[in-house]
Structure 1
Amino acid sequence: MTNDALQLPGQTLTLSGGSTIPLLGFGTWQIKGDDAVRATAAALEAGYRHLDTATVYGNEAEVGRALAESGVPRDQVFVTTKCPPDNAGKELDTLKKSLELLQLDHVDLWLIHWPGSGSVNTDLWKAFIEARDAGLTKEIGVSNFDAALLDEVTQATGEAPAINQIRWSPLLFDAQTVGDHRDRGVALEGYSALRGGTLDHPVIVEIAERLDRTPAQVIIRWHLQHETVVIPKSVNADRIRSNADVGGFELSAEDMTTLDGLGS
């Protein structure tokens, strides 16, 4: 199969800061060393234009190397990295180190990787705003926050996160969570979509077989039709390509409702 045969999705979402994020991204959690270089290179070759990494993943250098060697223009790739709350007080140093490893002068999105305790989230968020205003990142957001924590940092600074990256799949779908984000103007991004039994769930498997698609493709397509960012990961080049080949079909309204119901 050539890349021309792949039907990649073209859907994007405009974040609150004005940046455009592709709904389909490539996740790199738990991919290390040469595997990270190869997998990221395979994703870029397949047509992914959104890469997701983090300080604690220990693979920013490899992701950056793959991007640098890919020949894909920097302005065509949306790059996300994340700062652990343990690095509170040295946020800018953390981001500058990430940029050095990624071989970039800025990232497109920088996230607080998970909530800290006490006043840490607010302190981190203020530093994130400074980093954005300094041009080190275009957008700022959070990960693993609930609605109360979103409100906490927003009320402390007057600025809401552009996006919240949380664990998400049809099995975790919750209309209240979707509404909470929509009401706050915070985009929803899901991770671990292909984990937690989703690929083997009989309802998902049935829909996939009926549409002559893989369960992974059905799950990814479900995210796209909800305008939820999704970042599937794999070290297998064929699977990386297959996961991106979701632009040539749509789930019916009935299938979407059925999949939504798996979370209840």
Structure 2
Amino acid sequence: MASTQNTSKTFKLNTGASIPAVGLGTWQSQPNEVKNAVEWALAKGYRHIDTALAYGNEAEVGAGIKASGVPRDQIWLTTKLDNTWHKHVQDGIDSSLKSLGTDYVDLYLMHWPSSTDPDDRKKHYADWDFVDTWREMQKLVDTGKVRNIGVSNFAIKNLEKLLSAESTKIVPAVNQVELHPCNPSPKLIDYCKSKGIHVTAYSPLGSTDSPLYKNEQILSVAKAKGKTPQQVLIMWGLQRDYSVLPKSVTKERIEANFDLDGWSLSDDEVSKISNIPDRFKVCTDGWLPVKVFFGDDE
């Protein structure tokens, strides 16, 4: 059974660092919303903020952190290398640090296993792939600009390629992927655990206007617990032993999503949610020049 003090729960990474179990996601947040969302989240007690160069909101995230008054060393900050920056890893982190207004990030992720030509986003580099990118990301660890490095949107197939590469000297600390009851990916989670890679869930609520909010199994559990569907979905993720990044820009929802202490789901309730048969993905790979999801992670 999960700890009943989930707001202070952390997971130990293969680097020895401790990542807070619950963070604020900022993907798909509109301009001028993120600063307040970050400030509200930190005031509520969140200590994990997730962003990316591709989100276009790193400056707002940095402004929200500054406005919160919470010391930088008390906040776990994650950002990500964009696809078109794969040949320019050093420039990518420097750009992010400048926008965020900080000297370092706690976690730097390769956003996608797609080394995209910036002159034609429909093309993948012919002479470069994510193994090359990881080789360059490994060099950042000794610079002090990043505390931990990891990947995002990596399926088992691509993780195997990365881990078997001769140039791979550092096992990713984290693999951030889409996880919710309609995209549970148990094989991927088990594979990552077997390799010592921590899993973090993005879109754990199923994204904006999620059909999960109307799912009968989730609604029945929420009613029985006296909780919101969102709280139940977050707790389900935590009890599967991965960190979660619920996204919201509404103060009341940000605060409610963090009301996770003093209760948990029973094994039967976890099983009930885990056995929801419906499947959907918020994030697909059709917009990328290469396929990154292979349907073999279930």
Sort the TM-score into its range (normalised by shorter chain): over 0.9
2:46 to 45, 48, 67: 48
* Structure 1 residue 32 displacement after superposition: 3.5
Moved more, 35-44 or 147-156: 147-156
User: Given that residues 6 and 21 in structure 2 are in contact (C-alpha distance below 8 angstroms), is that contact kept between their aligned partners in structure 1?
Assistant: no
**Taking structure 1 as the reference length, what is the TM-score of the superposition?**
0.94
Looking at structure 1, the residues matched to 277 and 261 of structure 2 have their Cα atoms a distance apart, in angstroms, of 25
Give the aligned partner of residue 22 of structure 1: 20
Find the counterpart in structure 2 of residue 93 from structure 1.
91
Matches of 1:153 and 1:176, distance apart in 2: 18
Q: SS of the counterpart of 1:34?
A: coil
Name the structure 1 match of 2:82: 84
CA deviation after TM superposition for structure 1 residue 8, in Å: 5.7
Instruction: Name the CA distance, whole Å, in 1 between partners of 2:259 and 2:274.
Output: 22
Displacement of 1:140: 0.6
Identity %: 37
Distance in 1 (CA, whole Å) between partners of 2:45 and 2:70 is 10
Number of positions where the alignment pairs a residue of Structure 1 with one of Structure 2: 258
**Residue 102 in structure 1 maps to residue 113 in structure 2:** no
Query: Quick check: which one's helix share is greater?
Result: 1
- Tell me which amino acid in the other structure corresponds to 1:93: D
Corresponding residue for residue 170 of structure 1: 181
| Aligned-partner Cα distance in 2 for 1:160–1:263 | 33
5+ long unaligned stretches in structure 1: 1-6
Which of the residues 205, 220, 233 maps onto 2:219?
Answer: 205
Contact 1:172 1:262 in 2 (8 A): no
**C-alpha contact (below 8 Å) 2:7/2:45 kept by paired residues:** no
1:256 aligns with 2:270: yes
Contact 1:106 1:138 in 2 (8 A): yes
* CA 1:40–1:248: 2 relative to 1, 3 Å: same
Report runs of 4+ in structure 1 exceeding 4 Å deviation: none
Aligned to 2:132: 123
TM-aligned CA distance change 1:263 to 1:23, over 3 Å? farther
Q: Describe the shift of the 1:263–1:92 C-alpha distance in structure 2 as closer, same or farther (beyond 3 A).
A: farther
Matches of 1:134 and 1:149, distance apart in 2: 27
Q: 1:110 to 1:263 in 2, by over 3 A?
A: farther
CA shift for structure 1 position 33: 2.9
Q: Is the 8 A contact 2:105 2:147 kept in 1?
A: yes
2-side partners of 1:154 and 1:176: how far apart?
A: 17
State the Cα RMSD in Å. Answer: 1.5
